[in-house]
Amino acid sequence: MTTYPLHTRDADTTRDAATARTVTSTRDGADSLNRSALQMESVVLTYPDGEGRVTAVDDVSLSVERGRSLAVTGPSGSGKSSLLAVAATLTTPDSGQVWLNTPDTRVDLARVDRRRAAELRRSEIGIVFQQANLIESLTAREQLEAMAWLGGRPSRSARADVRRRADHLLDVVGLGHAAERSVGALSGGQRQRVAVARALMGQPSLLLADEPTSALDSESGAAVMDLLIGTAREEGVALMLITHDAGIADRADARIHLVDGAVV
């Protein structure tokens, strides 16, 4: 079981720390409390802007349960990517809490150090960006296997498990037949499917996708979206999905709309 040092800076966090102790002490307690894999509370993020600061995320609260999807829509510059970067541990918010509930632990992503954040991105948080960012010379299977090597060189039996999981996920995304093909030879839609499978390799609790289909034609884009939403449901992963396409947002279980960094 993974535990994380609990902070007790003020009354609020003391309450949260008490909850965290309950979660880690009993499995049943964890299951009931962990249904929301992601809980953001009053998150504010600003960037330096000349003499002052620009508010990119303005007091946003939201939660996403396991197996459910939340679509985030909003015009360009409304703070969608900033919000996702906070949930991804890629940006630290100015204030607010970002609770990640996994089967093993409850942790405030706004307060983890870089090393722990990197660990969580390997094991609990899968991320799919606009571009698939694959290594062209690897096969689809190797692309997925490489994820498991990031945490250190796996043993021979672990390698067999990794290969089985990679092949399972390639089946899930409809690319079982393409496991041995180099990704350079795949279509845009297929590459993004590999990126989805790669994001699921660590069996994450949370899957984050930032306009993952904006580089695709509408047909393969819709197929990738259906895949993301369906896979989240089947694998019990919480999905936060950014899109500017209202039709796609309608397929998610819930939806928020951002304007100037705030939920409207």
CA 205 vs CA 100, 121, 123, 256: distances in Å: 8, 10, 8, 21
Q: Does 93 interact with ligand ADP (rule: CB under 6 A)?
A: no
Binding mask 13-52 for ligand ADP (x = CB under 6 A): ----------------------------------x-----
Window 38-77: contact mask with Mg ion (x via CB under 5 A): ----------------------------------------
Q: Do 106 and 35 contact (CB within 8 A), yes or no?
A: no
Does position 79 interact with ligand ADP (CB under 6 A)? The reply is: yes
- Contacting ligand ADP (CB under 6 A), which of 77, 188, 230, 236? 77
Nearer to Mg ion, 17 or 262 (CB): 262
Give the position of tokens 């996702």. Answer: 84
Question: What does the block give as tokens for 99?
Answer: 């609770």
Closer of 79 and 126 to ligand ADP (Cβ): 79
103 binds ligand ADP (CB under 6 A): no
Q: Which of residues 24, 78, 81, 243 is near Mg ion by CB under 5 A?
A: 81
Query: How far is the CA of 197 from the CAs of 80, 214, 252, 259, in angstroms?
Result: 23, 18, 19, 31
Q: How far is the CB of 30 from Mg ion (least distance, A)?
A: 33
CA distance linking residue 128 with residue 130, whole number of Å: 7
Q: How far is CA 130 from CA 112, 146, 163, 197, 214, in A?
A: 26, 20, 26, 15, 6
Residue from the set 66, 68, 80, 165 that interacts with ligand ADP by CB under 6 A = 80
Between 84 and 172, CB nearer to ligand ADP: 84
Contacts of 191 (CB under 8 A, 6+ apart): 132, 134, 183
* Rg (alpha carbons) of the chain, rounded to whole number: 19
Out of ligand ADP, Mg ion, none, what residue 165 binds, judged by CB under 5 to 8 A for its kind, is none
If one asks whether residue 54 binds ligand ADP (CB under 6 A), the answer comes out as yes
For ligand ADP, which stretch binds (CB under 6 A), given 5-13, 71-79, 169-177, 196-204? Answer: 71-79
d(CA 212, CA 204): 18
In the numeric block, the tokens 């100015």 are attached to 94
- 54 interface partner picked from Mg ion, ligand ADP, none, CB below 5 to 8 A per type: ligand ADP
Q: Which residues bind ligand ADP (CB under 6 A)?
A: 47, 54, 56, 74, 76-82
